[in-house]
Structure 1
Amino acid sequence: MTLDTVKHATETPESAQPWAELGLKEDEYARIREILGRRPTGAELAMYSVMWSEHCSYKSSKVHLKQFGEKAPENDALLVGIGENAGVVDVGQGYAVTFKVESHNHPSYIEPYQGAATGVGGIVRDILAMGARPVAVVDPLRFGAADHPDTKRVLPGVVAGIGGYGNCLGLPNIGGEVVFDACYQGNPLVNAGCIGVMKHEDIHLAKASGAGNKVILYGARTGGDGIGGVSVLASETFDDSKPTKRPAVQVGDPFQEKLLIECTLEIFKEKLVAGIQDLGGAGLSCATSELASAGSGGMRVELDSVPLRDATLSPEEILMSESQERMCAIVEPQHVERFMEICEKWDVIATVIGEVTDGERLEIFWHGEQIVDVPPRTVAHEGPVYHRPYERPSWQDALQADDAGKLARPTTSAELKDQVLKLVASPNQASKAWITDQYDRFVQGNTVLAQPEDSGVIRIDEETNLGVAIATDGNGRYAKLDPYAGAQLALAEAYRNVATTGAKPLAVSDCLNFGSPEDPAVMWQFAEATRGLADACQTLGTPVTGGNVSLYNQTGETAIHPTPVVAVLGVIDDVTRRTSQAFTQEGQLLYLLGETREEFGGSAWSQVIHEHLGGLPPQVDLERERLLAEILISASRDGMIDAAHDLSDGGLIQALVESCLRGGTGARLVVPDGLDAFTFLFSESAGRAVVAVPRSEEVRFTDMCTVRGLPATRIGVVDGEEIDVQGEFSIPLSELRTAHEGTIPGLIA
């Protein structure tokens, strides 16, 4: 078979090429020919196909994502923003923290264990590539109905993959969430996040500059796994007519990644690299084109120098392979020998595969024959830009008019008690300990708070006790009712969760999970959610530092609920002063902060009791969220509260059950004047938290709330071994624990 060289492509302009099979549209293929002035070679076609895929190029979303830059609030803490492998923020004392959330949804449905495991591996390498030591991971997850047979197939594999890979790396899993909904049947959402820590001077960027500098590929050998994996696999809708995509799922080796991490950190310490990029989606196609595009020159690569696991791989397959545990570094010639010595010390394969040139082209050769000659920016950064049509769906008005306020409410105390027990035992509100106990949450010894706390907290300086907090949140039911408000509620909840621990929210990463962008209704949802998140970040002063868009999450014509997942990073000066959600001391006074309204649209109560979705989600008041956060942070720092828990899914009763079970103490409650017991317990009004206040601090705490204008209502006291709503019902903690903790093991184990 004739090698498809640049010369051969020029001489055979009419040769048929499989552009459609590689996911390209006819006009995209025509654009590639226009850029090159000829037909592409097979290797060039492979590169463009993966780099112009939805997953890599953001071609349907970038016109909306630009709002995150246009509306970005001024924030002195932001050191590196959107456009790099991950965002970086200043957290004080010379430290910088990098964090990001990404998706590995489609691979995890096909091959749950490896899909989830390599999702963790990929996000960890993104953080590593910024110059940071990874210190913790988080995992926001969504699955289909909890009692569906396929959930029992997918969930255990995903959880085992996340735990297996993260535990082997020695990274604590400190946060995340697990949500069940039939809309995710066939399209689970496996989002993975990572936090890394470094000093300001250690930040590294993905660029290739300096003619003569060497391009070194190091890490695992390149194999046939992951060819067209996340790049193509995540850029189309699943349906029954397509063949299995199993070979496209990458295979991970966490022990190889651990060696790669330590090797890379030692290389950073000796300042041996001028630029670096991990190999994730689109593999070498991405690493070479992005490094060259971001640099000041061109690049020449000898592709036959790439170490292979499978000698039969074609050049196209090598360029498309998404084999894991690989990095690409730009190294000045005088540092190459020492670079190689460090790699050998850590038993990491390292190979010089090319060099930076003073030209403007990315040139790739195979056994001396040129197979790629492209302007790198056209591959990496100048892909298609689609202004997809979008339109408010015809069913949206009817959905919002189907108000949850019309649903039958409990009419007796016995019925109210029964609904409380049903709520706390429902899959979404039940304890996720069966899942989180499979993760090592405390390895390395710096975990201060982890699941099921409101946010994970990690100490990053053992002398000063400086720490960071992270929370991830998202409610697809809210976003289905109102995508604009739903995205803002996701941000507000994550922001609030960080503040309840005593940390100050600083910045945001997001993972925007939606259906097919070719559906105008889905694109409307995406446009509204993006606009809502950008507006809310501007108001709260928390810039989006980076993230991920995952589209085509649908089976046939059925899309998932729009699911913007938002991660908020916060900083806490002294982790010894953090606040837990656990009620531990009898006699503590319980205060409800914020206002409770009749808001049940998209609520857990409407889902669990009535299997209903309709109406409007809770109102968003971002200034109230900011005030609540300030009060929570001040009260935590000054010792005015002993415990705090945000109110969100399931309302007050869910928060109380979690805090009581967490601390092993009960609570006596009085329904405040002006509220009925049902609304008091189940409303999901936003901008609220419940706190436990020592009696000695009550006056100081309430005075602060009064002066700042935050409603604070005393609703009870921590006491006994039951939750007692006076005049209504009481439930022993033992009964609540059985209901809360038995559901997931019963469904999944």
Structure 2
Amino acid sequence: MPEQPQPDTVAAAQRTPETPQPYAELGVADDEYARIRSILGRRPTAAELAIYSVMWSEHCSYKSSKVHLRQFGEKAPHSDALLVGMGENAGVVDVGDGRAVTFKIESHNHPSYVEPHQGAATGVGGIVRDILTMGARPVAVMDALRFGPLEADDTRRVLPGVVSGISFYGNCLGLPNIGGELGFDAGYARNPLVNALCVGVMGHEDIQLAQAPGPGNKVVLFGATTGPDGIGGASVLASANFDDESHAKRPSVQVGDPFLEKLLVECSLELFRDRLVVGIQDLGAAGVSCATTELAAGGTGGMRIELDRVPLRDSTLTPEEILMSESQERMMAVVEPGSLDAFMDTCAKWNIQASVIGEVTDVTSEEAERGGRLVMTWNGETVVDLPPRTASDEGPVYERPYARPAEQDALQADTPGTLARPDDDEELRAQLLDVLAAPGVCAPSWVTEQYDSYVRGDTVLSAPHDAGMVRVGDDGDRGIALATDGNGRYARLDPYTGTQAAFAEAYRNVAASGARPLAVTNCLNFGSPEDPGVMWQFAESTRGLADACQKLGTPVTGGNVSFYNQTGDAAINPTPVIGVLGVIDDVHSRPTSAFPRNGEGSRIMLLGSTTEELGGSVWAEVVHSHLGGLPPQVDLDAEAALARLLAAAVDDQLLTTVHDLSDGGLAVALAESALRGGVGCSVHLDDDPFTALFSESGARAIVVAGPEEDGDAFARLCRKHHVPAAEIGVVGGGSMTVTHPDGGFSIGLKTLGTAYGSTLPGVLGDE
């Protein structure tokens, strides 16, 4: 076995101040390196440089986004339901009956391009551990996915691998996948977006925090051993512009073991139940570097770590590689000495390896102001000695220059008003089928059927319905609903309005399930922050979301920023993905998006106001390959009124069907409800049928009430909540029939189903 090189110690760093260091290769800028030297009063050791490089990376420190993200706190509406807000691993929301829910969405975009299966799988594993770290039992996952053109060779490489990774990890964990999104656009070629959400349930008393209190308490690393997989992942992959060789960078992608994670989940929950933990942190991006610095910075003292006590599966790893490794399925706990034996016994019971690697130390009052001292040794020699808050909380903050792109005015001036409209009903019918068959609109069942949506037995709604819904306990009927939404076309045309539209759609989807929206998480996917045009998009997007959340009283509880989503100079369309969580008192009262099979003759009502709004629409994209104009305007008052109306109607059990209108407008909503229910409909449109069918105006939904008396009661509710409502047709028959004053057309359910259901299997295969 070759002899390992001697570690770079603190003493050596003091003796050799001018030793060259590869900081630039680790993503550290010249001024950042100079600041590290100033903090330490010397050059950093190799291990210290590793810590700062990953902790100050864009992925971990939010150094380019922090100045804009602050407004989520500054504009946060008061919420009695919010128990833990931004700053921890995930937000926590009170859902009543002494229960709380924690939820968060994060990206694993770049790893999923390099190695689709493992990149997506470990994205699920990481977000599950974030939820577990808060003290909650993970109960469901969702995903929001974006790929390049469906027919592209690289999409056929990436998409099946991503889906198999998500399904493999989630199914093995026994977590239902209850929904999400699937989109396609040329801008995502070689830049797929893989955003994973997890939600967990706990009692109020079960909340855990990332902190290391109490000098003398032990620091325990438990779970998987540490290997070379994922080294540099946070600082390299998350700041990479991809090219044709990028998928060869597999060593930077973590490898997941969901069966070990399942044991880790059960072991951790038992440790929490028995109150054997006083501080906890998962090891995800930045690994041991992140866990130690954040625990130490959040505690009352310092921390001393013996890196040579970290269990390894590769004995040749150096201290800096141990610190940067992103090996999966690992947790770090702070344990009181009197609880250590019980802690170890519980780990042994679950066959989880656990090792004491250090302890919390006492500090002077001056040191305490900076989170104490984080000291790490290797074979008895000190290789790290730094104030942990300088790594975890006091990283660089950039006010990147931003400017409205020069082409933005021309883009908005290129309105869809000049595009040719269908000449007759036959062409209108054909375009409806084209829109219904479009990737991103068509049935996502090729993807969703690979997921287990009903494992655990608590799923109430899942794909393809507007929101996912699960019960929050075995002893009642209360449930939570979740939806994610994002629209890169809208955000490209106007990032402020486009982001509000994404939030409004997720809010509306949750309301369509009968739940009351409570809180928000987000995953903000953008190009390079070094591009002033991208930073303008980001600034406008965050401002739009903060304003909308303030207006509707739904605080942002946390989330993720993913920059550098671009190939060369070509950035993706700005794609803020917004997740909304709501609560419903009785899951049995929830409607679905399907027309009732036994509801022959039931009245279909269209809620909300429709105007001609086709900028960024699916119709413009599919029929004319056009992107221009302005996105549909967002009326937050109307969204709130619609949500209140739907919640009241569901409470009174007046509705059997609710389906929001979004991509593809009324045309797609009617077709989806008909296909999901296996029953047709007949509708009459008094106005221009083209606008009525394809406009994507917001704050709209179609509903079906129960018996005639329910319909009358619902109409009274609409007037009470000031929501426009028009009866447009009835449920029944074997086709979707549309009439208007000048004619009409009909499409059989079989034809609708072929258009809607054959697109993905036709390209990806029938399996």
TM-score range, shorter chain: over 0.9
Match in the other structure for 2:660: 646
Q: Given the alignment, which residue of 611, 617, 627 partners 2:641?
A: 627
**Which of residues 727, 744, 747 in structure 1 aligns to 2:760?**
744
Cα deviation, residue 246, structure 1: 1.4
**1:125 partnered with 2:141:** no
Structure 1 residues 348-359: aligned runs within 5 Å: 348-359=352-363
* Match for residue 317 of structure 1 among 299, 309, 321: 321
- TM-superposition CA deviations, 1:407-452 (whole Å, max 9, x none): 1000100000000111111111110001000000000000000000
Q: One-letter code of the match for 1:461? A: G
Q: Would you say 1:76 and 2:76 are equivalent positions?
A: no
1:189 and 2:203 are equivalent in the alignment:
no
Cα deviation, residue 236, structure 1: 2.9
Query: Among residues 678, 681, 687, which one is paired with 2:690 in the alignment?
Result: 678
Q: Say if 2:403 is the partner of 1:391.
A: yes
Distance 1:192 1:707 in 2: 39
**What SS does structure 2 have at the residue aligned with 1:234?**
helix
Partner of 2:147: 143
Q: What is the alpha-carbon distance in structure 2 between the residues aligned to residue 741 and residue 176 of structure 1?
A: 18
Distance 1:243 1:12, change over 3 A: farther
CA distance in 1, matches of 2:177, 2:72: 28
What's the CA shift for 1:240? 5.1
**Deviation, structure 1 residue 242:** 7.1
Deviations 1:187-216 (A, max 9, x none): 000000000000000000000010000000
1:383 counterpart SS class: coil
Please name the residue that 2:436 is paired with: 424
Q: Distance in 2 between matches of 1:378 and 1:241?
A: 36
Q: Which amino acid in the other structure matches residue 702 of structure 2? A: V
**Is residue 2:284 matched to residue 1:268?**
no
Task: Note if 1:67 corresponds to 2:71.
Answer: yes
Which of 661, 683, 707 lines up with 2:720 in the alignment?
Answer: 707
What amino acid is the match of 2:756? H
Which one of the candidate residues 521, 524, 527 is aligned to 1:515? Answer: 527
1:403/1:601 contact within 8 Å kept: yes
Task: Say yes or no: does 1:504 pair with 2:519.
Answer: no
Identity over aligned pairs, percent? 65
What is the aligned partner in structure 2 of residue 636 from structure 1? 650
What is the DSSP-based 3-state SS (H/G/I as helix, E as strand, rest coil) of the residue aligned with 1:454? coil
Aligned to 1:40: 44
SS where residue 239 of structure 2 aligns?
coil
User: Secondary structure of 1:118's partner?
Assistant: helix
**Is the aligned partner of 1:728 residue 2:744?**
yes
- State whether structure 2 residue 210 is matched by structure 1 residue 206: yes
Hey, what does 2:374 align to over in structure 1? Answer: 362
Residue 176 in 1 paired to residue 185 in 2? no
Partner Cα distance (1:225, 1:210) in 2: 33
Task: Give the conservation status (yes or no) of the 8 Å contact 1:59–1:383.
Answer: yes
Name the CA shift for 1:227/1:493 in 2 (closer, same or farther; >3 Å): same
Structural mapping, 1:205-284, within 5 Å: 205-239=209-243, 244-284=248-288
Q: Does 1:438 align with 2:450?
A: yes
Note the C-alpha offset of 1:229: 1.0
User: Which one is further off, 89-98 or 707-716?
Assistant: 707-716
The one-letter code matched in structure 1 to 2:601 is G
Please state how far the C-alpha of 1:725 moved relative to its aligned partner: 0.4
Residue 237 of structure 1 deviates from its aligned partner by 2.0
CA drift at 1:241? 7.7
User: How many Å separate the matches in 2 of 1:600 and 1:496?
Assistant: 20
Q: Write the letter of the residue equivalent to 2:747.
A: I
SS in 1 for 2:25: coil
Structure 2 counterpart of 1:589: 603
Gaps of 5+ in 2: 364-371
Distance 1:308 1:692 in 2: 60
Do the aligned residues in 2 keep the contact of 1:107 with 1:230 (CA within 8 Å)?
A: no
How much does 1:245 deviate? 2.3
Partner of 2:367: none
CA contact (8 A) 2:54 2:234 kept: no
Residue 89 of structure 2: SS of its match in structure 1?
Answer: coil
In structure 2, how many angstroms separate the alpha carbons of the residues matched to 1:169 and 1:100? 18
Any idea what SS the aligned residue of 1:216 has? strand
Q: TM-score, normalised by structure 2?
A: 0.97
How many angstroms does 1:699 deviate by? Answer: 1.4
Q: Deviations over 1:44-91 (max 9, x none)?
A: 000000000000000000000000000000000000000000000000
Residue 3 of structure 1: how far off its partner (Å): 2.1
- Tell me the alpha carbon deviations over residues 355-396 of structure 1, each in whole angstroms, 9 at most, x when there is no partner: 000121000000100000000000111000000000000000
**What are the Cα deviations for residues 248-284 of structure 1, in whole angstroms up to 9, with x where unaligned?**
0000000000000000000011000000000000000
Match of 2:366 in 1: none
The 2-side partners of 1:112 and 1:312 are apart by 28
2:711 maps to 1:698: yes
Q: Report if aligned partners of 2:304, 2:360 keep a CA contact under 8 Å in 1.
A: yes
Structure 2 counterpart of 1:459 = 471
Mapped contact 1:126–1:278 kept (Cα < 8 A) = yes
1:96-149 deviation per Cα after TM superposition (whole angstroms, max 9, x unaligned) = 000000000000000000000000000000000000000000000000011111
2:168 maps to 164
Matching of residue 716 in structure 1 with residue 729 in structure 2: yes
**Partner SS for 1:435:** helix
CA deviations over 1:317-361 (Å, ceiling 9, x no partner): 000000000000000000000000000000000000000001210
**For the Cα contact (< 8 Å) 2:223–2:354, is it kept in 1?**
yes
Are the counterparts in 1 of residues 114 and 246 from structure 2 also a CA contact under 8 Å? no
Deviations 1:580-628 (A, max 9, x none): 0010121111000000000000000001000000000001000100000
CA contact (8 A) 1:55 1:232 kept: no
2:655 match: secondary structure: coil
Cα distance between partner residues in 2 of 1:243 and 1:33: 35
C-alpha distance after superposition, 1:487-536 (max 9, x if no partner):
10010000000000000000000000000000000000000000000000
2:736 is paired with a residue whose SS is strand
The answer on whether the counterparts of 2:26 and 2:235 sit within 8 Å (CA) in structure 1 is no
Check conservation: 1:134, 1:194, Cα contact below 8 A. yes
- The CA distance in 2 between the partners of 1:187 and 1:643, in whole Å, is 37
Are residue 656 (structure 1) and residue 670 (structure 2) matched? yes
How big is the shift at 1:703?
A: 1.4
1:116 maps to what in 2? 120
Q: Which amino acid letter does the alignment assign opposite residue 654 of structure 2?
A: M
CA distance in 1, matches of 2:712, 2:528: 54
For the 8 Å contact 1:104–1:230, the answer to whether it is kept is no
Q: Which residue of 2 aligns with 1:599?
A: 613
Unaligned 5+ residue runs, structure 1? none
Query: Does structure 1 residue 538 correspond to structure 2 residue 550?
Result: yes
Q: Tell me how far apart the structure 2 counterparts of residues 247 and 3 of structure 1 sit (CA, whole Å).
A: 23
Per-residue deviation at 1:462? 2.4
Q: CA deviation at 1:2?
A: 3.5
Instruction: Determine helix, strand or coil for the equivalent of 1:88.
Output: strand
- 1:461: Cα distance to partner? 1.9
Q: Is the 8 A contact 1:208 1:291 kept in 2?
A: yes
C-alpha deviation, 1:244, in angstroms? 3.8
Residue of structure 2 in register with 1:406 after alignment: 418
What SS does structure 1 have at the residue aligned with 2:170?
Answer: helix
How much does 1:637 deviate?
1.4
Q: Which runs of 4+ in 1 moved over 3 A?
A: 239-244
CA contact (8 A) 1:48 1:379 kept: yes
Structure 2 Cα separation of the partners of residues 29 and 232 of structure 1: 17
Structure-1 residue corresponding to 2:28: 24
Amino acid at match of 2:208: H
SS in structure 1 opposite 2:19? Answer: coil
Is the Cα–Cα contact under 8 Å of residues 85 and 129 in structure 1 kept in the other structure?
yes
Aligned length: 747
1:93 Cα deviation (Å)? 0.1
Return the match for 1:380 from 392, 407, 420: 392
Query: Any conservation in 1 of the 2:14–2:43 contact (CA below 8 Å)?
Result: yes
The RMSD of aligned alpha carbons is 0.9
